[in-house]
Structure formats: C-alpha cells, structure tokens
Amino acid sequence: GNTRDRQGRLVTCEHGARRVTRTEHDGRITVLMDSFEGKRLNAPNDVVVKTDGTIWFTDPGYGLLKNYEGAVAPFELPRNVYRLDPESGQATVVAGDFDRPNGLCFSPDESLLYIVDTGASHTPNGPRHIRVFDVVDGGARLANGRLFVDMAPGVADGIRTDLDGNVWAAAGWGGEGYDGAHCYAPDGTLIGRIHLPEPCSNLCFGGIKKNRLFMTAGQSLYSIFVETTGAQVP
C-alpha cells in the first residue's frame, strides 16, 4: 500500500524489505520503521497518514507466507496495527487483536478509523469483515472497536471514505457479481456496488476534484467518475 503525507511525499509499505519508507522529493528513500521493540516487522501492508502527520499502518505478514509477495520467514511480531510519529520515531500498537489487519482509512473528521480483517484468506472460517474504532486521547489510541460490516462471502481489501462519510471497499473473492467496489453508508448499510470482471484489491479517489475512483485489480486498473468527493488528505 501507498499514501502521501502532508508534504506530498510518498509513504510506502514494503513487503520484501519488511519496512515502511518515505520517498523524498529528490528521490531519496527514508526508512521510517522496520522493527518494533527489537524485532523485525512482518510485512507492512497498507498505510494512511493523519492530518497531524502520524502514520498508521497494518502489518499482517502476507509477505512472509510466499516468496512471490516477499520471502518466506518466521513471524517475529504479532499481526498488529501501528501508529508511528515520524518526527520522534515513536511507534505504538493501536490494535493487536486482528487475524490479518489489512486496509484502513479514517473518517472525514478523523474521529473514526476503519480497519479490514482478511483473516479468511489463510484461516478457515477466519474473519472477513471491516471494524471501526473511535480515535481517542487526542489521536493517540483507539477505543470501542466494533463490527462495521461483514463482507461474507467475499473479503474487502483497500478502503477509503468520501466527504459524506461513506466507506468504499475494494472487494472480491466472493463469487459472481461480488468483484469490484462496494460503497457503505456510515451506518454500514450497503449503498451500491461497482462491478468489475476481476477481484478489486485497492482503490483511491483522484483527479482535480477527487471525484474519480481508481480501482486496482489482478491485471487491470479501472476508473470511473462518481457523484462524490474523496476525503483522503492531503
């Protein structure tokens, strides 16, 4: 996963190198985090940057399971969700009870954090849902985790919110008619789906008005103009 910070620099989760990096404007690569409490990260997967500059990312470890996504290796850490202050270098675990934490995004006002669990990808009867948490203590930790939506029979992957607080989820692996982007109201009600001919792995809003939805899939990149505006920053 990739995102941008408040200065427009690219922040990247690297499976193979098991780290989170930042690409500076001159092309230099800055390693933001590659370990926690003396142990190597598993294989960071997806990342978002809050308006205060803190970096929040998931570390499910998919890159340790097969060589084509990274390199097979033992896990050194639980499959956590982290908050990193890039100025101080201080990192904290904000969620540690996921099977496979994956995509994540903030609500438009950053009072909520949505996190996907794709545990069903490698665990029989594992979770295939999106959870939502309150962001508390001035943005330092999460509380009151609860189910937002169950994605069965498929799973979600990357997620984003629009300015109305709707959650857009890349989805697939659930059978005919399930692949594509699913849009959910803030209360979890399904608003609609954009069907694609292959599973959708991630999505984001782009364009001058941020009203164009880009969707990545197994072999293709799709886009469509929508009647809303993405909430991601900057």
| pLDDT the model gives residue 173 | 85
Spell out the residues 6+ positions from residue 99 whose beta carbon is closer than 8 angstroms to its own: 79, 117, 118, 119, 123, 126, 127
| pLDDT the model gives residue 70 | 86
Paired with 36 in beta bridges are: 39
Domain spans in the chain, listed from the N-terminal domain onward: 1-97, 110-234
| pLDDT the model gives residue 202 | 96
Is 124 strand, coil or helix? coil
Tell me the pLDDT of the chain averaged across its residues.
94
Query: What's the rounded Cα separation, in Å, for the pair 147 and 136?
Result: 18
Where do we find the tokens 């009867």? 125
| pLDDT the model gives residue 66 | 85
**CA atoms within a 13 Å half-sphere pointing along the CA-CB vector of 133:** 22
Is 62 strand, coil or helix? helix
User: Could you tell me which of 108, 110, 190 has the C-alpha nearest to residue 156?
Assistant: 190
Query: What's the rounded Cα separation, in Å, for the pair 212 and 183?
Result: 14
Q: Is the peptide bond before 108 cis (omega within 30 degrees of 0)?
A: no
Query: What's the rounded Cα separation, in Å, for the pair 203 and 201?
Result: 7
pLDDT tens digits along 189-207: 999 999 999 999 999 999 9
110-234 is a CATH 2.40.50.100 domain:
no
Q: Is the peptide bond before 153 cis (omega within 30 degrees of 0)?
A: yes
